[in-house]
Structure 1
Amino acid sequence: MTGLLDAQGLEISHLGHRTRLKWHRLRKRFADPLFSAEVMAEGFAAGASMELDLRVRADGGFVVLHDEELEGETTGHGPIAEKSIGDIGDIRMKEGDRPLILSEDLAAMLQSAHPAALLQFDMKDDYGAIGARGIEHLAAHFRDIAASVIVSAGSLDLIVAVKEKIPNLMRGIDPTNKLGDIGQASGWKAVETELRADLRGPTEPDTIYLHWQLILDAAKGGLDMIALCQDQGKRVDAWTFTLKDPEAGFSEEEWRNFQALMALKPDQITTDEAPATERAWSRRMAV
């Protein structure tokens, strides 16, 4: 049986399994502005799972941006890591002339979030850039609301540092690129061995982030990466599956891929078109 929650872009329930739809870069729809505080507030009220990128500031705090330099997404200039909170107060997002979102803002907004809401901090800097001061900032602002936050990073040293300083904060790792390279060089058995090592590793991750195409390729090769992770008590986020035409719904190729992905029962799918994906699924399943 398939059930939907009012097409809010929150989740799809299928064959007794619940798959959350995570709003990528705080976008409920691709037409939404990048890193929108308004969309984030809507998600907090609805209990949505959402993701944003964080860059470290010179004072140890963070700002919600993807790029290393301010030029790409904002009216500012120069490396974000060289700017303190006072340096960026007048800087605006290029899209929509909106103020930047700071980590301090996130902490305040999360205080009133729906209990089911989950916000992923995708840390774009490594531990060498963030250091003990950045970890202390996270602890000071998010330790008491840890149930609403999960921290992910490419830097395993950073995730280990988060675990040691804020053990109640959920953690995620993304070994996609590494596993993809191993698969091309040595095959799926080698991928399985490496993934098992990651699951048992010092980061002690709660969630494993894997590109959806890698998941499907592995399944065709006889390796169910999602089941492997779930058997070890880990959740799996399949990223990033976004409909090319949200109004029309799934193309035939998209439908084949999405069906195959759902059959593997991921815990979460990252998308830039959450409500459209729910609607498209509902229409297809009703046929």
Structure 2
Amino acid sequence: MVQMTRLLDAQGLEISHAGHRTRLKWHRLRKRFADPLFSAAVMAEGFAAGASMELDLRVRADGGFVVLHDEDLDGETTGHGPIAEKSMGDLSDIRMQEGDRPLILSEDLAAMMQSTHPAALLQFDMKDDYEAIGARGIAHLAEHFRDIAASVIVSGGSLDLIVAVKEKLPHLLRGIDPTDKLYDIWKASGWKAVETELRADLSGPTEPDTVYLHWRLILDAAKEGLNLIGLCQDHGKRVDAWTFTLRDPEAGFSDEEWRNFQALMALKPDQITTDEAPATERAWGRRMAD
């Protein structure tokens, strides 16, 4: 295992620039876009290497969770119907469409996280709101993720959910994603209103560790003189800029991608979400060496 960690140490984990380290987060447990969606094998590799990774969780009918993005089983899996109506037993024979793999349940996650690299970070992106998850879902998280080796950050669009996580699982990190709301406010009322709303979220009851912001929103705001990353960092929060994925990982950055990525890196995000972490790191190194 030590050999694997050394081997992967400089592959898709972070980029250092101007004295600042920006982690590269593996989106939906993909180190590369060619990896299967939500792969337990890739997650194990990331745990060994100390990677930052993200997965999506959907609540089950029994209060537990399954690692899937959509609210229905159709599409990502061989099953059908709403996940919220399925219990653990209902999901046992269902497979992922890619690779005929079993679904990853929250119980499986807890078992996998008993031993990891100390730098490993796993983001639970909660796709349901607090009304759907409720006290039973929060209690399930508390029962299964109270004593784990890896660091976990729980994020979601529902602020009520994140507050509930804070109250029941205070040892877990928390994240908020106000992107959609901020886009709507920008279109309706302009950038000053965006700044006001974000400041309120940063000092609000969720007490987030990390704020997740779409990279285009960050750059659009910066062009108008509003540094969203700096604003969050001034409040002691980290910023994850999502999701920047190279269109051609072998060729590296196109000229447009390079302009955008350079502008993003100049603002010093703490983390960038990508489906092509090693390729992004390689492409950055090639461009900086030119």
- 2:9 and 2:51 mapped to 1: Cα distance? 13
- The SS at the match of 2:54 is strand
Indicate whether 1:113 and 2:108 are aligned. Answer: no
Answer whether contact 1:153 1:173 (CA < 8 A) is retained: yes
Aligned length: 283
Shift of 1:146: 7.6
Indicate whether 1:221 and 2:224 are aligned. Answer: yes
Indicate whether 1:54 and 2:54 are aligned. Answer: no
- 1:147 and 1:263 mapped to 2: Cα distance? 30
Question: What are the equivalent positions in structure 2 for 1:133-144 lying under 5 Å apart?
Answer: 133-144=136-147
Answer whether contact 2:66 2:106 (CA < 8 A) is retained: yes
Answer whether contact 2:59 2:84 (CA < 8 A) is retained: yes
Q: Which residue of 1 aligns with 2:99?
A: 96
Question: What are the equivalent positions in structure 2 for 1:127-206 lying under 5 Å apart?
Answer: 127-145=130-148, 148-206=151-209
Answer whether contact 1:212 1:261 (CA < 8 A) is retained: yes
Q: TM-score, normalised by structure 2?
A: 0.96
Answer whether contact 2:113 2:149 (CA < 8 A) is retained: no
- 1:181 and 1:146 mapped to 2: Cα distance? 39
Shift of 1:6: 5.1
- 2:9 and 2:237 mapped to 1: Cα distance? 28
Q: 2:125 aligns with which of 114, 122, 125?
A: 122
Q: Which runs of 5+ in 1 are unaligned?
A: none
User: Percent identity among equivalent residues?
Assistant: 88
Indicate whether 1:236 and 2:219 are aligned. Answer: no
- 2:149 and 2:197 mapped to 1: Cα distance? 29
Shift of 1:145: 2.7
Q: 1:63 aligns with which of 53, 63, 66?
A: 66
Q: TM-score, normalised by structure 1?
A: 0.97
- The SS at the match of 1:149 is strand
- 1:224 and 1:53 mapped to 2: Cα distance? 28
Q: Give RMSD over aligned pairs.
A: 1.0
- 1:116 and 1:272 mapped to 2: Cα distance? 20
Q: Which residue of 1 aligns with 2:11?
A: 8
- 1:147 and 1:248 mapped to 2: Cα distance? 34
Runs of 4+ in 1 over 4 A off after TM superposition: none
